[in-house]
Amino acid sequence: MVTSATTRSLRRRLLVRGHDPESRTRLNPLQKLALAVEIYATYASMRLLLRLRGLPGALAALRRPLARTAQPDVGASTSLISGLRLGSAVARSLPLLPTEHRCLMQSLVLVGLLARRGLAGQLVIAVRPGGESGGRFGAHAWVELDERPLLPTFEGGFTRLTAI
């Protein structure tokens, strides 16, 4: 299983000098603003979609752009870098809102952003059972692209339940 530490290590290796020059370019302030607006707009539409359609319907609506977009002809490492960068932007942006921004919402927003870019991210839901050991029940969600996590997986006892 790929851990958060593995993802960080992979990110560092892929972003080393001489890899893909396009993937190392930094966003200018206007591009950062546009990305933040896209993240917040996706978040707002996701909250509404969840209320109206539930999780399966909301995911289907988020992935609609993916169905209309041909899969881009980019390398797996370029797609992974894009996914990691988007995941990082979502994880930094959503906590600034005074509303729900936990792992499921971050994951759903990231799935929508990836779909708009022609990338098929998988929503992974995992659980940590409570029980006799005195632990508390917990649930966690993250997004994977080509079986690599784009958001933290928090390995601490979580068992993968499903990927959708």
pLDDT tens-digit map of 80-135: 888 889 999 999 998 888 887 788 899 999 999 999 888 888 999 888 877 555 66
What span, in angstroms and rounded, lies between the C-alpha atoms of 100 and 70?
A: 33
Percent of the chain at pLDDT > 70 equals 73
Q: Global pTM?
A: 0.76
pLDDT digits (tens, 9 = 90+) for 19-53: 444 445 788 889 999 999 999 999 999 999 999 99
The first and second tokens of residue 65, run together, are: 């752009």
| CA dihedral (149, 150, 155, 161) positive or negative | negative
Predicted local distance difference test score (pLDDT) of residue 108 = 93
